[in-house]
Every structure is written in C-alpha cells, then in structure tokens.
Amino acid sequence: MKFYVASGVGNKALVNRAAERLEKNGHDRTYDWTGHGDVSAELAARKREIAALEAQAVLDADLVLLLLPGRFGMHTELGLSLASPAGKRILLWSETGAPFEGSDSFCVFYHHPAVERIVCSFSALLERLDYL
C-alpha cells in the first residue's frame, strides 16, 4: 500500500514517526515533504515544484493519514484526497475531539463520509497503524 502523511510543518517529527511505522509494516511513502519542510521563503519556481510533487503524492496514495493540527497545505491535501477516485482511505487523527466538535480549528470536511476520524493518543495511533 502506498501512503502519504499530511500535517503542519510543526508536526514533522510525528509525521516521520507515523511514516516509519507504516514503512516498517511494508508500506511505501509516496513523498517525504519533511526533508524540505516550510518552503514559504523559497523562489516561486521551487514552490510550484513542491506543490506539484505533494499533490501528485496525495493522488498516488492508497492511504492518506492527516495529523492535526494542520494548516492550509494539510487542508488542501485533505481536499485532494476527497476528490480522488473512490477507494482511497483517509484517516484524520487528533489527540482530542475538539477539532471535530466546533472548536476554532473546526472544518466541516472533517465530517465527510470518506474521512475516518480517529481520537486517541499518538502512541495508540501508532499501534493502530500496525493493523493497516
């Protein structure tokens, strides 16, 4: 299974831990954005390149794991996931249920029927990834 892990740049360490767990179980990452991190200060050509690479990686993935909190990029990746052909598995993780219940970080697309919302500790999420 091919996967992509999306989140805010500040969650880079969590993204890599989740990706390492999935890779340990024989799955393949479509793209590792954590190597370049924030590209907001890059030249326009580099921003276009990264945007295209990340979008294609989301489209190529069988599983998209989104780790809250995220920002604009993660929400775009959620949208790309939802617009992808049926069959893509979309997991949205939060340590608390607050983002799903109308907090300041609420997004209605968190409740799309294709999105599996997961509320648990990060260590429990890692254990859950062993069964994918």
Instruction: Supply the pTM of this predicted model.
Output: 0.96
Q: What is the CATH T-level fold of the domain 2-129, as seen in this structure?
A: Rossmann fold (3.40.50)
> 63-98, pLDDT tens digit by residue?
999 999 998 999 999 999 999 988 899 999 999 999
pLDDT score at 106: 80
Those residues of the chain that have pLDDT short of 50 are none
What is the layout of strands, in order, in the sheet containing 28-29? 28-29, 2-7, 63-67, 89-94, 115-119
Q: Which parts of 31-106 are beta strand (E)?
A: 63-67, 89-94
Q: Are 92 and 78 in contact (CB under 8 A)?
A: yes
pLDDT score at 104: 72
pLDDT score at 86: 80
Please state, in angstroms and as integers, the Cα–Cα distance from residue 77 to each residue in 25, 26, 73, following that order.
Answer: 24, 23, 6
pLDDT score at 14: 98
pLDDT score at 85: 85
pLDDT score at 102: 76
Place of tokens 């805010």: 8
pLDDT score at 67: 98
